[in-house]
Amino acid sequence: MAIRVWFSLFLCVLALLGSVSYASESEESEFVVTLDHSNFSDFIGRHKFIVVEFYASWCGHCKKLAPEYEKAAQVLSQNDPPVVLAKVDANEEQNKILASEFDIKGFPTIKILRYGGSVVQDYKGPREAEGIVSYVKKQSGPASAEIKSSEDANAVINANKITIVGVFPEFSGEMFENFTAVAERLRSDNDFAHTSDAKLLPRGDSSVSGPVVRLLKPFDELFVDIQEFDVDALAKLVEEASIPTVTVFNKDPDNHPFVIKFFNSPNAKAMLFVNFNNDLIDTFKSKYHEVAEQYKGNGISFLIGDVDASQGAFQYFGLKEDQVPLIIIQTNDGEKYLKLNVEADHIASWVTEFKDGKVKPFKKSEPIPEVNSEPVKVVVADSFQDMVFNSGKNVLIEFYAPWCGHCKQLAPILDEVAVSFEKDADVMIAKIDATANDIPQGTFEVQGYPTLYFKSASGNISLHEARFEKRGAIIKGRTRGDFEVL
């Protein structure tokens, strides 16, 4: 659950998400293989390496990806050996068991399946054709590239990325095999290489002959030497060393992979937002780095974000630019803790107060409406408990976004249904702007808009069909933005 929450937040940080309908696939599509429940296992079982997109017919992001995915499939079909790209409509009822098996929580989700599906990894590459081709080619090749020359080193090692290089006197034995096992496990996140000549590497002791694993990175101490070769322990050390003490979020695309790592971390997330053009920016960075060093390994990850690049985060948290510099900590249970207009010298003491449990959680909420007389009642975070949980009514509630096209289409239909039940004291039709109000954690899972939940008077909550009949009309609410009127 935590990873899904943070992945959703990262999408908000990068951009505001729109909601558009997903048109049917072009009949001209030939290179992306369509799979479903009837042929999936057999087809996957025949391939050592295959890429599968799980999509939904209503998903706007899927629609944007479709032509790029098809172009990439065409190019990769000419690869030696050919690489197959496939797709599954995970929103189809008959395919939902596949979506559950592969833990599909949002769309599009792309998985890399190896060795007949026995190894499953998340696709973490680009979403445009050229980038897909480049990433998939790399993923389908050896997990670790051999460095035999300076040219090889220059081709593999990028000064702006992390590269993990195993230095071995010979490429055999248990330690080398364990290194390659870790490379196979973590290859979707990092570049791996191996060499017998440390002089070819740009940093670190050039006289070592190994075995040693040297992690080269563009931040903090620039390299780390690891001499642990237990597979699980080595993988953990590599992952820990791959996260900056303070992750920088700005418009530099080289920083984005580290931002993803930050949000995928199981730790609480501390985020300092400040104008990078501020005269005191160096002071803020220095003080913040000191705090991050102090709490390193204590369950908090730290990020500093430039206001100009963080508009998505500001909308997600309901913040305003005149409140910066500000620091916000969000825990994996969804609680948020906020300090507005913070001074650099006060960051350390505030984080200490948070760790000591002395900071009260922050809840994002629109004001409770003074007048709420329309048929569809407006719910906000501060009124959610009273209106939804404690009302004693059967409540159909829509979670919407103001910019969502489907929500705008649904609005007059929801109004009509609300009018039909206006005189029924046991029924309430309601809506909440899910972009401007915090949603109670652990009860409602909203991954797209509009999402409809039905809370019965007895307290049962369901995301399944909620039906209200009037003059023969039935509104059928489904998950993540799909609805129809019969």
**Predicted TM-score (pTM) of this structure:** 0.68
Please report, rounded to a whole number, the percentage of residues in the chain having pLDDT higher than 90. Answer: 71
pLDDT of residue 287: 97
90 touches 55 (CB < 8 A): yes
pLDDT of residue 277: 93
Residue 345 vs residue 106, higher pLDDT: 345
Catalytic residue among 32, 407, 428, 475: 407
Q: List, for residues 192-223, the tens digit of each pLDDT value.
A: 999 999 999 999 999 999 899 999 999 999 99
255 φ, ψ to 5°? Answer: -85, -15
pLDDT of residue 28: 53
Catalytic residue among 12, 13, 51, 59: 59
pLDDT of residue 16: 32
pLDDT of residue 441: 75
Q: List, for residues 430-445, the tens digit of each pLDDT value.
A: 999 998 898 887 778 8
427 touches 421 (CB < 8 A): yes
433 touches 402 (CB < 8 A): yes
Catalytic residue among 76, 309, 351, 404: 404
CA distance 181 to 251: 34
pLDDT at 48 over 70: yes
pLDDT of residue 30: 84
Read off the pLDDT of each residue in 136-161 and give the average, rounded to a whole number: 94
Residue 84 vs residue 441, higher pLDDT: 84
Residue 135 vs residue 19, higher pLDDT: 135
Please report, rounded to a whole number, the percentage of residues in the chain having pLDDT higher than 70. Answer: 89
pLDDT of residue 265: 85
pLDDT at 13 over 80: no
Residue length of the chain: 486
Q: List, for residues 363-413, the tens digit of each pLDDT value.
A: 889 999 999 999 999 999 999 999 999 999 999 999 999 989 889 999 999
HSE of 285 in the Cβ direction (CA atoms, 13 Å)? 13
Catalytic residue among 35, 62, 248, 432: 62
185 to 167, 322, 441: CA distances (angstroms): 19, 44, 32
C-alpha triplet 74, 80, 83: angle, nearest 5°:
45
For CA atoms 88, 89, 93, 96, the dihedral sign is positive
pLDDT at 149 over 60: yes
- What rounded mean pLDDT belongs to the chain? 87
Concerning whether 12 is annotated as a catalytic residue, the answer is no
C-alpha triplet 170, 174, 177: angle, nearest 5°:
75
pLDDT at 482 over 70: no
pLDDT at 78 over 90: yes
- For residue 287, give the H/E element and its range: helix 281-294
pLDDT of residue 463: 74
Residue 332 vs residue 33, higher pLDDT: 33
Q: List, for residues 244-287, the tens digit of each pLDDT value.
A: 999 999 999 889 889 988 988 889 999 999 999 999 999 999 99
